[in-house]
Chain A
Amino acid sequence: MKSLNLANIVLVVMFAGGTLYALFGGADFGAGVWDLMAGRTRAGAGQRALIEASIGPVWEANHVWLIFALVVLWSGFPRAFAPVMSTLYVPLTAAAVGIIMRGSAFAFRKAAVPIVTKRSYGAAFALSSVVTPFFLGTVVGSVASGRVPATLPGPDSPSPDVIAVWWNPTSILGGTLAVLVCAYLAATYLTADAARQSQRDLADEFRSRALGTGVITGIVALGGIVVLAGDAPQLFEGLTGRAAPLMALSAAGALSSFVLLIRRRYRPARYSAALAVAAVLWGWAAAQYPDMLVGSLTIAQAAGSRATMVAMLVSLGLGSLIFIPALLVLLVMSDRGKLN
């Protein structure tokens, strides 16, 4: 029992890291989506400049949350990490390629001079910003719909179909929602950034985009409930049962962000949008609790050694005393436009 409590704490830490990755890293991907949609070189220059200024100083720090969540997963829950990564290697390899292309293309674009080179790096940056969240979303869908077996393929357990495991209704729903959510978050955040620089036109453009993607995300999410009822019954039951309050909170967050966006109150709109997204993620976790891999592995079964969990919590705790204040300084400086 005590060991399960410890595992739950580690899980909360990991999920907190994952949530922060979604809220910060996700918005950076979303900014890439808007970079893709910004239009031709000249017309989109203003939007692209805003995007570059907004994510430039922070995206690398935001990216580290992914590594944080990954290493906590593999040290804390090695028996879940190994099957998830090896079974879902197709979408994960695609996401990895997306991550490497996104990061390097963004950096190269800044350094490139000829407009043609700049444009092709820009295209790579923007395309990979769509590809990466989509594939990461399919991974969530696969785990949540109980498609990842706990045992590694071997003589007695056949290898699962490496395509069907992530190309199915729930995974595709997960991928689509991930891209939409990133775009929605990014547009909402960018309204505030544009307004701070008193670029009213840009703020209005992102305002309508935020509202548009927000509404589409809502419709897809509602439609998704039907998909889940048929394709992922255990998740559906959890979301409509135990996790229902979190789902309601998410809906409330989304609706209030719409109202705030309409009234051009961009800063609070940002926080409600983030709340809406965080609540969905925690709702997913609550819905499948106490399973780590739905239908095949519980948290207690996935957990690694107690000593490692304790050592990890202690080192992360001590480390966070240093890196959390530093991170806050970076984010606040960036948010106030002091980094350019």
Chain B
Amino acid sequence: MAARQQMALSLGWHIVLACLGVGFPILILIGEGIGLRRGDAVASELAYRWTKIFAVLFAVGAVSGTILSFELGILWPGLMGTFGDVWGLPFAIEGIAFFLEAIFLGIYLYGRDRLSPRAHFLVGLPIPVAGIASAWFVVTANAWMNQPTGFDVALYKATGRVEGVDPVAAMFNPATPVQTTHMVLGALMLAGFLVASVYAWAWLRGRQDRYHRLGFTIAFAFAAAITPVQIVVGDWAARFLAENQPTKLAALEAVNETASGVPLTIGGIVIDGEVRYGLEIPNGLSWLAHGRPDAVVRGLNEVPVDERPPVAIVRTAFQAMVAIGFFLLGLGGWLAVTWIRRRRLPQSLWFFRAAVVAGPATVIALEAGWVTTEVGRQPWIVYGLMKVDEAVTTAPGIRFGYYGLIVVYTALTVAVVTVLRRLRRPWPSADPAGTAIIGSSSPGMEPVEMS
């Protein structure tokens, strides 16, 4: 049990940093691009300060991701020993993407004084590309756990031997398109709404100058533009589950018995496996999952009791994710309507209060999404083929490592939040006016080369 919790903690922690790593550089480059194109010093300054924050987040994200690759072996030797070569390829390719990200970030961060503004912008471009590629490849591996392909499945079921390995087929398993799209869009939303919420907070505290307005608008508009797309992709994901992982869909909608014309229940709580106090839309689930109001939705009764995921957790997480998704959609709509009608940000305090909430809410939605897909697959680690119990380590004393990591992650969280809070404060450089950006390209500032 400690092994599962340790993995959940490490993954749940890393994923927030990883998402910021994917989305934040895009915001930075948008800011830098605006600065370059319009000669806008405020936008350049914004991009410069974001870069400093991002450097810290990237460092923490990089090391917390490394821990995960250790843990896959430390905690799940049964999984890695059996299937390491089936699903390993995307991790190897992700390694290359990660290399590119780290290399270009190194040049981008430390080369500011030596590169022309245009060259500096161009050096930054590979960072989000590599970041999105990393996320894509890693998520193909998780998609494989949901839809294992790329080896002789029948032979494995009969004998437990893994043969006929095709790593490319494993990487492009049926769950890959929908899951990678959903995750990458989620990462972009998280970065946007989280950064925007810091500026929304500053707005409420009275800092409504152009610097803060621009920071809010870039981040919020970016995330809000992606939200409707994400909701369509989310629907695609649910329909995919209906066809390919019906048990998971049954768990996240708490469908106990296979039936036709199944209603969609919104809200409510699960008591003894039944949803109470929810709002029922007749035939709603049948229609959403299969496109016909009388379609058959397969229920939990189709699998033995010991192969059913914990419904209460999975359904609650799923409902939370969907609810937050629609909340974000509404908030984005508010901005869009105001912008179209008045060409400015909404003035309502409630808009900014909601925008403050949107950041942490996106984090909750992200974690809830992971709970939905991971807990929804229980008791399987590789869907239909290997149970978590077969994969987990039997080494004694694992829980002590877990306790140690709880302390480490708690300390890190405090440190990261402290650094993030700097976003809304003037950057404490020796040069608060930000003239360094303008002055630093003058040749006189360069350190003299002696050797």
Contact = CB atoms under 8 A, between A and B. Distances in A.
Contacts of A107: 55-56, 59-60
B66 interface: yes
A196 B450 contact: yes
Nearest to A162: B395
A66 B74 contact: no
Interface centre among B96, B103, B415 (most CB of A within 10 A): B103
Contacts of A339: 106-107, 110-111, 114
Contacts of B94: 71
A46 B396 CA distance: 46
Contacts of A307: 165-167
A153 interface: yes
Interface in A42-74: 56-58, 60-61, 63-64, 66-68, 70-72, 74
A63 B62 contact: yes
A108 B415 CA distance: 8
A312 interface: yes
A334 interface: yes
B85 interface: yes
Interface string B62-75: 11111101111111
B78 interface: yes
Interface string A287-320: 0000000000000000011011101100110011
B395 A61 contact: no
A3 interface: no
A264 to B, nearest CB: 12
Contact of A154 (B59, B93, B100, B394): B394
Given A82-B84, A312-B88, A323 B96 contact: yes
Interface stretch (A84-92, A212-220, A242-250, A268-276): A84-92
Chain B interface helix/strand/loop/mixed: helix
Contacts of B82: 78
B289 to A, nearest CB: 35
Interface in B406-451: 408, 412, 415, 419, 422, 428, 447, 449-451
Contact of A308 (B88, B163, B394, B451): B88
B412 to A, nearest CB: 6
B65 to A, nearest CB: 8
Contacts of B89: 75, 308, 311-312, 315
A265 to B, nearest CB: 12
A153 B394 contact: yes
A247 to B, nearest CB: 30
A74 B80 contact: yes
A102 B60 CA distance: 10
Nearest to B451: A196
A100 B62 CA distance: 9
Contacts of A162: 395-397
Nearest to B392: A86
B91 A100 contact: no
B395 A86 contact: yes
B451 A86 contact: no
Given A78-B82, A111-B56, A334-B106, A101 B408 contact: yes
Given A74-B84, A307-B165, A322-B96, A93 B395 contact: no
A61 B103 CA distance: 6
Interface residues of B, number: 75
Contact-residue bracket for chain A = 35 or more
Interface in B91-137: 91-96, 98-100, 102-107, 109-111, 113-114
A83 interface: yes
A102 B62 CA distance: 11
Nearest to B59: A107
A198 B447 CA distance: 11
Given A89-B393, A102-B63, A339-B111, A198 B451 contact: yes
A89 B80 CA distance: 14
A92 B38 CA distance: 51
B70 A96 contact: yes
Contacts of B73: 74, 81-82, 84-86, 92
Nearest to A13: B92
A66 B70 CA distance: 11
A113 interface: yes
A174 interface: no
A66 B408 contact: no
Contacts of B110: 56-57, 334, 339-340
Interface in A320-340: 320, 322-323, 326-327, 329-330, 333-334, 337-340
Given A76-B88, A152-B394, A159-B394, 7 more contacts: A83-B81, A92-B74, A198-B451, A307-B166, A323-B99, A330-B107, A340-B113
Query: Which 6 residue pairs of A and B lie closest in terms of their CB atoms, listed nearest first?
Result: A75-B88, A85-B73, A78-B84, A304-B85, A82-B81, A319-B96
8 contacts: A74-B69, A75-B91, A81-B80, A86-B74, A92-B73, A104-B415, A305-B86, A311-B167
Interface of A: 56-58, 60-61, 63-64, 66-68, 70-72, 74-79, 81-87, 89-90, 92-93, 95-97, 99-104, 106-108, 110-111, 113, 152-154, 159, 162, 195-198, 304-305, 307-309, 311-312, 315-316, 319-320, 322-323, 326-327, 329-330, 333-334, 337-340
Interface of B: 52, 55-56, 58-60, 62-67, 69-75, 77-78, 80-86, 88-89, 91-96, 98-100, 102-107, 109-111, 113-114, 162-163, 165-168, 393-398, 401, 404-405, 408, 412, 415, 419, 422, 428, 447, 449-451
